[in-house]
Amino acid sequence: MTLPHVLKRIRLNLARSKEFPEGSARHGYEFVAPLDQAGHIDLTLWKQHRDHCRVRRFWGEDAEAGRLVHRPGGKGGVWAFDYVPGTSEDDESGYRFASHAFITGEYVSIRDEDGELHTFQVASVEPA
């Protein structure tokens, strides 16, 4: 299936941490989202293409699939990865995703379902 040209496939790899001093390409996320010219998630285009905005969380041998969702709140709303529709207990929220540019080499943070904040490096941004 061909996805709309405005969608990008973004890969985030775990950045350096106490547990992974060199970071880890085996721990992270790959998700599809519409980005504007500056690399920010485009809310208007997301609304048009939300069914295509999926996420795959990979953590070593474990993988989980879900959707990129947007919820009201804070400045620019809250972007999150939702793995079980209709619940929010499993959601992982992007820290300031509304203002971060998804450009290769940049860093972003995600709060996992346990409330722990992890830092990731944007490993790639490619056409979906």
Domain boundaries, the chain: 7-127
Low-confidence winner among 22-26, 49-53, 57-61 (lowest mean pLDDT): 57-61
- Measure the CA–CA gap between 83 and 56, rounded to whole angstroms: 9
Query: What is the per-residue pLDDT for 1?
Result: 57
Q: Is the pLDDT of residue 75 over 80?
A: no
Nearest CA-CA partner of 100 in 69, 72, 73, 75: 75
Q: pLDDT tens for residues 108-118?
A: 999 988 889 99
Tokens 């998630």, located at residue: 41
Q: pLDDT tens for residues 76-85?
A: 788 999 998 8
- Residue 14: alpha-carbon gap to chain centroid: 12
Q: By three-state DSSP, how is residue 70 classified?
A: strand
Confidence band, pLDDT 50/70/90 cuts, at residue 87: confident
- Measure the CA–CA gap between 30 and 9, rounded to whole angstroms: 7
